[in-house]
Amino acid sequence: MVMSLLYRSTRSADVKVTASQAILKGLAADGGLYVPESIPALDVSLEELAGMDYREVAYEVMKLFITDFTEEELKNCINKAYDSKFDTDEIAPLVNADGAYFLELFHGATIAFKDMALSILPHLLTTSARKNNIKNDIVILTATSGDTGKAALAGFADVKGTKIIVFYPKHGVSPIQEKQMVTQKGDNTYVVGIEGNFDDAQTGVKTMFGDSELAKELDANGFQFSSANSINIGRLVPQVVYYVYAYTRLLANNEIKNGDRINVVVPTGNFGNILAAYYAKNMGLPIAKLICASNENKVLFDFFKTGTYDRNREFVLTSSPSMDILISSNLERLIYRIAGDDANTNKELMDSLKKDGRYTITDDMRAKLEDFYGNYASEAETAEAIKSIYYNTGYVIDTHTAVAASVYKKYVAETSDETKTVIASTASPFKFTRSVMDAIDKAKYDKMTDFELVDELSRIANVAVPQAIEDIRTAPVLHDRVCDKTEMKAVVKDILGIK
């Protein structure tokens, strides 16, 4: 029998809610993020998990975090999520290439790792709403740096009792990412480009979540907000699964022995994906180093190097736009933990971030970050990683995965650590075709159109064009609304018909 696990806010010691309430709310009323009171230990052996498929592993991990769902409810959510939407039965295959294991997290409907969690979140949310007798329609309000938006739109499209509004930086996503979003079908889907960057979009969304007057207006009109961003614990928990799954595949394939430690490399901007690996380690998964890979927006690298988080810097638009982030929301969950689960200390640091754009952690807190290694890859290094892995192995990776591969090379050069390593491969190269093909041979591919490049990539990588790309070749634009970053609240009220 799994013990009941409650969730706390990172900013207030007296807030306690069930898993379903945390999923429904997304963000705590005090602006904090929900975290489990303790991280549960795996209660099934790694050998047993090695004999299970993805859905079965997902149940064994998620049941420990979402304890107010019945077995039937949770399995129903899992089975609806991890089905034929994924183009491989494995859901998240491991590919051995160039001295590491690439965990391909992009086989879902929108060919990015966000599908791993956003395929299940709508089912977790609607189940949570029923459990808590919610009568309002749930309005999913989301900011995206490119991938979350489409994955959330695909997950929530035409889900009864929900609407979804996605804000994205109009000039800060790849052409394919934008096309995927603005062609999204579904009577309950809304996509809005903002004149600003991702951090502006995310700040606008967080401000609306904290607006008590707006909440009253919504309620009077039969609505309430929830989030599909990685601040929602219903996003984070499904991400823990694939690290456990990756380890158990290595075990099943006799690549490691039970108990052998592995390293994990994660390209990350918002910190949620690597935080999931940290949670997996704390559940008892034998992970040695958590290698945090940043692009030229290296706010996380600087944090691990100095103990100071400082977003007061130039915002760089890179070829890995999903990581073009200076406010790493999920880092707050780690800060809370290394502060000894002290909500007051965490709140002081977050208040400092809001007021001054920076904070510095104590030496005691820094000592608890020994599991982490941080580094970054420049644009040139990212391109070089794509090119060298392709010419050495024939394997083609996207720009975000290339950031991770480049940082991994730096880590090995610095440490000579030969531990077997899993690299989180977070997007299909087809999602960032122009940047990928430029890296391989810019002169050769410069004159091709985006979709000519898609076909050429398919040919040289010997991989079929994903359905997600085929679907948008001729799809009409259905969403063309653009607003200033200051107008986001007015746009939401207009969409919902609130005067």
| Mean pLDDT of the chain, nearest integer | 95
Confidence band for 449, pLDDT divided at 50, 70 and 90? very high
Residue 3 has pLDDT above 90, yes or no: no
Q: Please name which of 274, 385, 372 lies closest in space to residue 319, comparing C-alpha atoms.
A: 385
Residue 18 has pLDDT above 70, yes or no: yes
- pLDDT at residue 1, rounded to an integer: 53
Whether residue 316 lies inside any domain: the answer is yes
- pLDDT at residue 147, rounded to an integer: 80
Tell which wins on pLDDT, 369 or 210: 369
Query: Do residues 324 and 424 both lie within one domain?
Result: yes
Q: State yes or no: is 16 an active-site residue.
A: no
Whether residue 31 lies inside any domain: the answer is no
Query: Do residues 348 and 285 both lie within one domain?
Result: yes
Whether residue 436 lies inside any domain: the answer is no
Query: Do residues 373 and 266 both lie within one domain?
Result: yes
Q: Which two tokens stand for residue 94?
A: 């491991």
Confidence band for 55, pLDDT divided at 50, 70 and 90? very high
Whether residue 123 lies inside any domain: the answer is no
Domain end call among 428, 457, 486: 428
- pLDDT at residue 2, rounded to an integer: 61
Query: Do residues 341 and 485 both lie within one domain?
Result: no
Domain end call among 402, 428, 454: 428
CA-derived radius of gyration, the chain: 21
Whether residue 165 lies inside any domain: the answer is yes
Q: DSSP characters for 307-346?
A: SEEE--S-----S-GGG--SS-TTHHHHHHHHTTS-HHHH
Residue type, 316: V
Q: Please name which of 113, 132, 26, 12 lies closest in space to residue 73, comparing C-alpha atoms.
A: 132
Whether residue 180 lies inside any domain: the answer is yes
Query: Do residues 347 and 423 both lie within one domain?
Result: yes
Query: Do residues 354 and 257 both lie within one domain?
Result: yes
Query: Do residues 323 and 405 both lie within one domain?
Result: yes
H-helix or E-strand containing 453? helix 450-461
Taking residues 487-496, what's their average pLDDT?
Answer: 97
Unique residue bearing structure tokens 């996380």: 300
Domain end call among 369, 403, 428: 428
Query: Do residues 182 and 284 both lie within one domain?
Result: no
CATH code, 386: 3.40.50.1100
Query: Do residues 272 and 386 both lie within one domain?
Result: yes
Q: DSSP characters for 280-317?
A: HHHTT--EEEEEEEE-SS-HHHHHHHHSEEE--S----
Rounded Cα distance, 291 and 281, in Å: 13
- pLDDT at residue 211, rounded to an integer: 93
Which pLDDT tens digit goes with each residue over 337-362?
A: 999 999 999 999 999 999 999 999 99
Q: Which of 165-169, 175-179, 378-382 has the lowest mean pLDDT?
A: 175-179
Query: Do residues 210 and 253 both lie within one domain?
Result: no
Taking residues 202-214, what's their average pLDDT?
Answer: 93
Whether residue 404 lies inside any domain: the answer is yes
The catalytic residue among 25, 63, 114, 347 is 114
Query: Do residues 163 and 269 both lie within one domain?
Result: no
Strands of 223-226's sheet, edge to edge? Answer: 223-226, 137-143, 162-169, 189-195, 481-484
Domain count, the chain: 2
Domain membership of residue 390 as a residue range: 94-110+234-428
Query: Do residues 298 and 365 both lie within one domain?
Result: yes
Whether residue 434 lies inside any domain: the answer is no
Rounded Cα distance, 348 and 343, in Å: 9
Which pLDDT tens digit goes with each residue over 389-424?
A: 999 999 999 999 999 999 999 999 999 999 999 999
Which pLDDT tens digit goes with each residue over 111-145?
A: 999 999 999 999 999 999 999 999 999 999 999 98
Taking residues 208-227, what's their average pLDDT?
Answer: 94
In three-state secondary structure terms, 465 is coil
H-helix or E-strand containing 418? none
Rounded Cα distance, 396 and 110, in Å: 18
Confidence band for 495, pLDDT divided at 50, 70 and 90? very high
Whole-Å CA distances, 43 to 48, 287, 406: 10, 17, 36
Residue 383 has pLDDT above 60, yes or no: yes
- pLDDT at residue 439, rounded to an integer: 97
Q: Which two tokens stand for residue 152?
A: 């959330």
